């Protein structure tokens, strides 16, 4: 009886492993689709700014975004200086949020 139970457990364990692998693959594909959709959205917005004549103007300070930056990142909306300032602020906010987050002793 133990042998039968063991023999049935292996395929079940393998099936569960396969299911987890497929779920992970689905999540990865979904994340890639989200990234593609986000990039397309940024490109559409850049094309709109081109039509409006505001392409290359920094959203933050209004200065011109450097040509080299636009060549590397055609849908950039901030100059390098403003982008770096924003990233620093976001990083600071993440640190503050982590420090003030309640400590979870166990995950139910
Ligand atoms: Zn700027």
Domain limits, the chain: 1-54, 56-98
Task: Output the pLDDT for position 80.
Answer: 97
> In the prediction, which pLDDT does 5 show?
72
Selection from 91, 94, 64, 92 nearest residue 79 by Cα: 64
Instruction: Tell me how far the alpha carbon of residue 36 lies from the centroid of ligand 1, in angstroms.
Output: 26
In this predicted structure, the answer to whether residue 1 has a pLDDT above a threshold of 60 is: no
- Model pLDDT, residue 3: 62
Radius of gyration of the chain (CA): 24
Using the mean position of ligand 1's atoms as its centre, give its distance from the Cα of residue 77 in Å. Answer: 9
In angstroms, what is the span from residue 24 Cα to ligand 1's centroid? 39
Residue with tokens 């990233």: 87
Q: How many whole angstroms from 66 Cα to the centroid of ligand 1? A: 10
Centre of ligand 1 to C-alpha 31, Å, is 29
Taking the complete model, does pTM exceed 0.85, yes or no? no
Which one has a higher pLDDT value, 102 or 97?
A: 97
Question: What does the DSSP 8-state code read for residue 105?
Answer: S
Lowest-pLDDT range of 4-8, 80-84, 95-99: 4-8
11-46 pLDDT, tens per residue?
A: 899 999 999 999 999 999 999 999 999 999 999 999
Angstrom distance (rounded) from CA 35 to CA 26: 14
Alpha carbon distance 42, 68 (integer Å): 18
């Amino acid at each position: 009886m133990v042998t039968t139970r063991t023999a049935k457990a292996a395929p079940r364990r393998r099936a569960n492993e396969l299911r987890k692998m497929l779920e992970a693959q689905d999540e990865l594909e979904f994340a890639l689709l989200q990234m593609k959709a986000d990039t397309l959205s940024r490109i559409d917005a850049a094309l709109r700014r081109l039509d409006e004549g505001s392409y290359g103007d920094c959203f933050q300070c209004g200065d011109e975004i450097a040509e080299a930056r636009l060549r590397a990142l055609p849908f950039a909306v901030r100059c390098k200086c403003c982008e770096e300032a924003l990233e620093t602020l976001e990083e600071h906010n993440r640190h503050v949020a982590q420090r003030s987050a309640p400590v979870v002793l166990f995950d139910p």
